[in-house]
Amino acid sequence: MTATVIDGQAFAATVREKVAAHVARLKEENGITPGLAVVLVGEDPASQVYVRSKHKQTVEAGMASFEFKRDADLTEAELLALIAKLNADPKVHGILVQLPLPPHLDSDLVINSIDPAKDVDGFHISNVGLLGTGQKAMVPCTPLGCLMLLRAQHGSLSGMNAVVIGRSNIVGKPMANLLLGESCTVTIAHSRTRDLPGVVRQADIVVAAVGRPEMVKGDWIKPGATVIDVGINRVPRGEKTALVGDVDFASAAEVAGAITPVPRGVGPMTIACLLANTVTACCRAHGLPEPEGLTA
């Protein structure tokens, strides 16, 4: 293997330490405790695991964590009323509605009812617009985590060719906007892209956010490129299952200059960036300086 393996787990720990240090300062100097409210509707097992981790890490960082678990038959009016209450609550600086919502609830309507200043997932249409126009926004957590890893690897990304594979609103599109903001030349590839291997071969930076196990092969990678693998795919391995990314790690690591593994790559950065966004939202709400190194 020739590539440097980017340790997302260790990097996420440094982000959480920075968050905790800033939270401690806010408490001591300003008497403010940043607070994150997480709303979970229904019993989706993966969502329950995510929400538990978010709660644990929020508390470990010294912040207040408010959990609102509701049955799957909650009406849209009841959910909107809960969000209105959280929007008005000064102890709550960040609001996250765990997705996916049960099908009878309109996710877009619900997300767009969150106060954009408290939208720590960065999915509100106002934040999408602010990011798209290069203004100060709340930035979606997974792409923010990828950007932090890339900046740590390269410093300036200016002028680099970046290929983002995947055009979802959660990862691909905001990632492309962040890379444009770093003055990369950005290509967004997707399921209809012609000659995807040829497109990826032009890239100094590859971000794969597809959801197809080990799709990106080593011979698609330009020698020395940096590969950020967002994919999380559970695949059968003998009698058990294993987690793999969207990149064929073994072959890509022979060609790339640096690569994130799965697990312990991008995954841990997502919740770390949620904590970072909550502190940022708290500082903005109180007109205080934002923490350094935790924003886009």
The residues assigned a catalytic role are: 54, 98, 121
Listed in sequence order, the residues at least 6 apart from 191 whose beta carbon sits closer than 8 Å to its beta carbon are none
* Cβ atoms of 140 and 266 closer than 8 Å: no
Query: Which one, 166 or 291, has the nearer CB to ligand NAD?
Result: 166
DSSP 230-286: ---EEEEETTEEEEE-SB-HHHHTTT-SEE--SSSSSHHHHHHHHHHHHHHHHHHHT
CA-to-CA distance for 33 and 92, rounded, in angstroms? 9
Task: Considering only the stretches 47-55, 98-106, 156-164, 206-214, report the one whose residues sit in contact with ligand NAD under the rule CB under 6 A.
Answer: 206-214
Query: Which one, 82 or 273, has the nearer CB to ligand NAD?
Result: 273
Q: Give the residue closest to ligand NAD by C-beta.
A: 168
Least distance between ligand NAD and beta carbon 123 (Å): 12
Structure tokens at 157: 């990304």
CA-to-CA distance for 277 and 274, rounded, in angstroms? 5
Phi first, then psi: give them for residue 210, nearest 5 degrees: -120, -45
CA-to-CA distance for 154 and 90, rounded, in angstroms? 39
Matching residue, tokens 């932090």: 148
Q: Which of 91, 84, 41 is nearest to 66 (CA)?
A: 91
Does 8 contact ligand NAD by CB under 6 A?
Answer: no
Task: Considering only the stretches 100-108, 148-156, 166-174, 253-261, report the one whose residues sit in contact with ligand NAD under the rule CB under 6 A.
Answer: 166-174
CB atoms closer than 10 angstroms to residue 65 = 18
Does 191 contact ligand NAD by CB under 6 A?
Answer: yes
Task: Considering only the stretches 46-54, 82-90, 114-122, 163-171, report the one whose residues sit in contact with ligand NAD under the rule CB under 6 A.
Answer: 163-171
Task: Considering only the stretches 34-42, 69-77, 203-211, 216-224, report the one whose residues sit in contact with ligand NAD under the rule CB under 6 A.
Answer: 203-211
Q: Which of 8, 49, 56 is nearest to 270 (CA)?
A: 8
Does 176 contact ligand NAD by CB under 6 A?
Answer: no
Does 146 contact ligand NAD by CB under 6 A?
Answer: no
Q: Contact with ligand NAD (CB under 6 A): which of 5, 180, 232, 285? A: 232
Q: Contact with ligand NAD (CB under 6 A): which of 36, 92, 95, 171? A: 171
DSSP 36-51: EEEEEES--HHHHHHH
Q: How many residues does the chain have?
A: 296
Does 167 contact ligand NAD by CB under 6 A?
Answer: yes
Task: Considering only the stretches 26-34, 73-81, 93-101, 210-218, report the one whose residues sit in contact with ligand NAD under the rule CB under 6 A.
Answer: 210-218
CA-to-CA distance for 108 and 245, rounded, in angstroms? 28
Does 172 contact ligand NAD by CB under 6 A?
Answer: yes
Contact map string, positions 84 to 123, toward ligand NAD, x by CB under 6 A: ----------------------------------------
Contact map string, positions 248 to 287, toward ligand NAD, x by CB under 6 A: ------------------xx--x-----------------
Q: Which residues bind ligand NAD (CB under 6 A)?
A: 142, 165-168, 170-172, 189-191, 193, 196, 209-212, 230-233, 266-267, 270
